[in-house]
């Protein structure tokens, strides 16, 4: 496989990047209409990126040289894309798409079909479970961390408008004991379902927090077994009918950060939305999966977004990306995307184990608009660094409780701000007062949907999953492992022995840990 830097079109893109288009002169209504793509009710509007027709064609050529469509098809069919060639590594299929391939147009790859069959089994189990528990619980606490927390949490918070009456959801993730304590202050455990999520069944934070919650239940005279369900790998230490009301299964072909549409998200989402609501999320995600695999590149939303990101990152050399939903319901969605993108593409070797000579995944961050406008947009407009933005917006609001104030609704005010920011960042402002001068030429794009519902949120989630995957395909890196989190775990266990007072002497890391403990 060719190295990213050696694709033929790469040299031309570098030349083009030396003189990117001047948006201050170029931005016209025609340009906004021209640089757009529509699919599944979404419009991707990228006239405010620093591209022209030749650059877009070259980026599409890059996608072709990198065979990204073939790789996307291979991934969804069950190819073993999670591996490093020539070195001991994970060697797995990447089949989060199979978790929602439960409608028409099923994949025909053998591995993918098997994964979908497993997913269907869990879906039926979930449907039955939700029916059986009936109204026994009002609240659910999900205990998990990383992929077992951020995605499910972002989705749950985004859909509060659609909860079944009286249902609430809480999350405990951090090993900080105050995280569990604060949640336990707020719930009546007698009416609470606890969903413990760990694929390995051995995640330190999760098991510790589970113990804290079980301890509290016993203190309150409750039987933990009647409240706790496990979401874990079959046969893991947590797959234990003595301890749990039910076990839901996940598999090593679904990575944590891609697992929100598996039972990792399914149990809590199903609890608050109802089984049908969760199925709508799956349907939206599945439609985007099919689109990512089948839409032709010039109109393929996640692919376009991936390529524009690569233009900004590798050719315009911009080190971060801000993702700004103009939707308060999506307030934790950037935190999920931060994990999804940075854990997938924050890599320094390619799939053959060679150190890369180009930049991979950028720093991803973001907060909702309009809030950000009153906060960090100062730097976005007038800072010394350029931050490309990905805006997300919707035509309609979720609750129907909008009011016309001074002849416009809040939703109209929100959208006006969104569009105004894209324009302002692109065209800037001349001024004799240097403090009122805006340099412009700051790139952004908008993904515009109709309304944030379970269905469209599923599609939005999958849009980002595939954007990340497409970028990894272009860079030829493994977007599906996470070796970089291992060293910290190992050293944490070493430092922990100091607290256990098991060891009084040691060298290396042990001595360094000791030096820190003196400050406590």
Torsion-angle region of residue 198: left (phi > 0), alpha (psi -120 to 50) or beta? beta
In the set 219, 374, 490, 502, the catalytic residue is 374
Smallest separation (angstroms) from a second copy to the CB of 120: 29
Contact yes or no for 227/217 (Cβ under 8 A): yes
**3 state DSSP class of 204:** helix
SS3 content of the chain, % helix, strand, coil (to 5): 50, 15, 35
Q: Is 489 a catalytic residue?
A: yes
Distance of CA 142 to the CA centre of its chain: 18
Select 227 or 332, whichever has its Cβ closest to a second copy.
332
Distance CA 380, CA 386 (A): 7
Closest CA to 357 of 51, 18, 7, 70: 7
Select 126 or 342, whichever has its Cβ closest to a second copy.
342
Select 59 or 183, whichever has its Cβ closest to a second copy.
183
Smallest separation (angstroms) from a second copy to the CB of 66: 18
Contact yes or no for 308/430 (Cβ under 8 A): no
CA angle 114-195-144, nearest 5°? Answer: 85
Smallest separation (angstroms) from a second copy to the CB of 164: 13
Select 135 or 486, whichever has its Cβ closest to a second copy.
486
CA angle 332-249-81, nearest 5°? Answer: 75
Smallest separation (angstroms) from a second copy to the CB of 519: 5
Select 78 or 369, whichever has its Cβ closest to a second copy.
369
Cβ neighbours, 10 Å, residue 276: 10
Select 149 or 390, whichever has its Cβ closest to a second copy.
149
Select 206 or 293, whichever has its Cβ closest to a second copy.
206
Task: Show the tokens assigned to 403.
Answer: 């009011």
Smallest separation (angstroms) from a second copy to the CB of 34: 10
Q: Which residues pair with 195 in a beta bridge?
A: 142, 229
> Positive or negative, the Cα torsion across 283, 286, 292, 295?
negative
Contact yes or no for 243/225 (Cβ under 8 A): yes
Task: Show the tokens assigned to 486.
Answer: 């291992």
- Alpha carbons within 13 angstroms on the beta-carbon side of residue 159 total 30
Smallest separation (angstroms) from a second copy to the CB of 105: 27
Which of the 8 DSSP states describes residue 297? G
Closest CA to 82 of 256, 306, 295: 256
In the set 124, 186, 489, 511, the catalytic residue is 489
Contact yes or no for 121/101 (Cβ under 8 A): no
Report H helices in 134-203. 150-158, 177-184
Select 182 or 241, whichever has its Cβ closest to a second copy.
182
Smallest separation (angstroms) from a second copy to the CB of 110: 28
Select 113 or 438, whichever has its Cβ closest to a second copy.
438
Q: Is 34 a catalytic residue?
A: no
Q: Which residues pair with 355 in a beta bridge?
A: 349
Smallest separation (angstroms) from a second copy to the CB of 189: 14
Contact yes or no for 198/239 (Cβ under 8 A): no
Q: Locate the DSSP E strands across 108-264.
A: 139-143, 168-172, 192-197, 228-233, 246-250
Element (H, E) at 62: helix 53-65
Smallest separation (angstroms) from a second copy to the CB of 461: 16
In the set 49, 122, 205, 343, the catalytic residue is 343
Classify residue 262 as exposed, middle or buried by CB count within 10 Å of its CB (0-12, 13-18, 19+): buried
Q: Which residues are catalytic?
A: 343, 374, 489
């Amino acid at each position: 496989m060719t190295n990213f830097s050696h694709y033929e079109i790469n040299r031309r893109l570098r030349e083009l990047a030396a003189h990117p288009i001047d948006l201050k002169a170029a931005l016209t209504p025609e340009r906004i209409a021209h640089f757009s793509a529509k699919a599944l009710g979404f419009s991707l509007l990228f006239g405010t990126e620093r591209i022209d027709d030749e650059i877009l064609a070259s980026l599409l050529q890059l996608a072709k040289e990198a065979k990204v469509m073939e790789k996307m098809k291979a991934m969804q069919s069950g190819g073993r894309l999670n591996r490093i060639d020539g070195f001991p590594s994970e060697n797995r299929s990447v089949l989060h798409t199979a978790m929602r391939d439960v409608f028409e147009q099923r994949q025909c790859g053998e591995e993918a079909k098997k994964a979908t069959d497993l997913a269907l089994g869990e879906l039926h189990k979930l449907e039955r479970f939700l029916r059986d528990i009936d109204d026994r619980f009002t609240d659910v606490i999900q205990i998990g961390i990383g992929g077992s927390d951020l995605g499910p949490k972002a989705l749950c918070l985004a859909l509060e408008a659609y909860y079944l009456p009286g249902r609430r959801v809480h999350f405990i993730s951090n090993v900080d004991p105050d995280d569990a304590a604060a949640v336990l202050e707020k719930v009546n455990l007698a009416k609470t379902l606890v969903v413990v999520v760990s694929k390995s069944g051995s995640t330190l934070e999760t098991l510790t927090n589970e113990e804290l919650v079980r301890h509290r239940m016993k203190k309150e005279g409750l039987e933990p077994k009647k409240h706790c369900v496990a979401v874990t790998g079959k046969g893991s230490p947590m797959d234990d009918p003595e301890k749990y009301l039910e076990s839901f299964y996940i598999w090593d072909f679904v990575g944590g950060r891609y697992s929100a549409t598996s039972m990792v998200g399914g149990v809590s989402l199903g609890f608050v939305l109802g089984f049908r609501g969760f199925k709508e999320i799956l349907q939206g995600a599945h439609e985007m999966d099919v689109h990512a695999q089948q839409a032709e590149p010039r109109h393929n939303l996640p692919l376009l977004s991936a390529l524009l990101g690569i233009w900004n990152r590798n050719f315009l050399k911009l080190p971060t990306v801000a993702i700004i939903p103009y939707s308060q319901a999506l307030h934790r969605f950037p935190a999920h995307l931060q994990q999804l993108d940075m854990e997938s593409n924050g890599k320094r070797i390619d799939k053959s184990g060679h150190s890369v000579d180009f930049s991979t995944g950028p720093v991803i961050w973001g907060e909702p608009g309009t809030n950000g406008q009153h906060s960090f947009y100062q730097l976005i407009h007038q800072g010394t660094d350029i931050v490309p933005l990905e805006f997300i917006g919707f035509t309609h609001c979720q609750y129907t409780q909008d009011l016309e104030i001074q002849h416009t609704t809040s939703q109209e005010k929100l959208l006006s701000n969104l569009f105004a920011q894209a324009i302002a960042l692109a065209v800037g402002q001349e001024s004799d007062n240097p403090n009122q001068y805006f340099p412009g030429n700051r790139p952004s794009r908008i993904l515009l949907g109709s309304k944030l519902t379970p269905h469209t949120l599923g599609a939005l989630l999958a849009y980002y999953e595939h954007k990340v995957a497409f970028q990894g395909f272009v860079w030829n890196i493994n977007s599906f492992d996470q070796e970089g989190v291992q060293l910290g775990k190992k050293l944490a266990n070493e430092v922990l022995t100091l607290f256990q007072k098991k060891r009084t002497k040691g060298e290396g890391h042990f001595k360094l840990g000791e030096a820190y403990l003196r400050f406590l």
